[in-house]
Chain A
């Protein structure tokens, strides 16, 4: 039994199905809400806070990717306050690691870089933490550069939910959090990795890339995850 609800997004009344999230409904109706950790076909985690929206009757901003629609709900996707929060979130992502866009394999094809431009982030107002982080080059076909990881977890969920291998997870906590394969093994020695490369395609930045592509050359096939999901649902 599919229950229908009516919600208002940026003033427009939209019919939706109960259980859908605000983000899903918005995107299905060509309303743009930015997001980094969300990826169609994966579970939502509400980690990056870029998709925050205003919901009538709720005092704080809520992440659109994890908030279900409800009858009579009124959603606003962009206000000066929302935009300023999104900008802060983006700036903090840059400040945390060493992105150095100019010499990144994903420059020009990076979701973080593009979102920063879209939101008019011309500089970061916080001091950079400049951690010294390794690059894992041990896998024969792929590379993991921790300097460019934003801990969105898309690789973790892709590997766990789509490939079923769950090679990746996030270890540590706070500023020390980092992506880990198995028990902190070098990627090339991870026995559960099938080398399918879907994590690389899911990565929004240059943190994961195919080996051998030079700066600016790494373009990703972002739809691989949603295509697989929809094909499986269809079968």
Chain B
């Protein structure tokens, strides 16, 4: 056990961070959610590395499988590094009928993202970690369909050309 643990430990400074976060939350029921949220927030690539999850399990005494279950249940948590910019495309009913699927395909093409997701949640990140494209079940802004969220700002009535321009702009910005 000790051997496997040694291999999987996060870096010392991350351990300190996790210890601090856990300390803050200690004793609260349902503390795990808050711990994971803070941990992801503190991560440069906005995700939960496996080593961190394992360390959280060790420190909190929550079984690893349960930590993993919580981290994968909520769409909020990412298990893979996220891009600098996030494009979230809604695939709720209203957006779907207004062509959100075409928007998704167009952006994937633009960013050279090929694989297609089959599960209910799709998240794709470019190899250079500049962009993450994901789908969202519904933003609750159906009147504005199709809706796309770019870096946490909601855009309504999105047209293909406008979306391409915007992503292009971010790409050039990122390149500088």
Please list the residues of chain A having a beta carbon within 8 angstroms of any beta carbon in chain B.
131, 156, 160, 165-176, 180-184, 191-192
B147 to chain A, nearest CB (A): 21
Decide if A167 touches B119 in the complex (CB within 8 Å).
Answer: no
A139 to chain B, nearest CB (A): 15
Decide if A167 touches B1 in the complex (CB within 8 Å).
Answer: no
Write out the residue numbers on chain A whose beta carbons fall within 8 Å of the beta carbon of B119: 172, 175-176
Write out the residue numbers on chain A whose beta carbons fall within 8 Å of the beta carbon of B69: 169-171, 180
Write out the residue numbers on chain B whose beta carbons fall within 8 Å of the beta carbon of A169: 63, 65-66, 68-69
Decide if A192 touches B63 in the complex (CB within 8 Å).
Answer: yes
21 contacts between A and B (CB under 8 A): A166-B65, A167-B65, A169-B66, A169-B68, A170-B69, A171-B65, A171-B69, A171-B73, A172-B73, A172-B119, A174-B120, A175-B119, A176-B119, A176-B120, A180-B68, A181-B65, A182-B65, A182-B68, A183-B57, A183-B64, A191-B5
Decide if B73 touches A192 in the complex (CB within 8 Å).
Answer: no
Decide if A168 touches B72 in the complex (CB within 8 Å).
Answer: no
> Which B56-84 residues sit within 8 Å CB-CB of chain A?
57, 63-69, 72-73
Decide if B54 touches A160 in the complex (CB within 8 Å).
Answer: no
Alpha-carbon distance between A191 and B1 when the two chains are bound, in angstroms: 6
Decide if B68 touches A184 in the complex (CB within 8 Å).
Answer: yes
B7 to chain A, nearest CB (A): 10
Q: Does B164 contact A (CB under 8 A)?
A: no
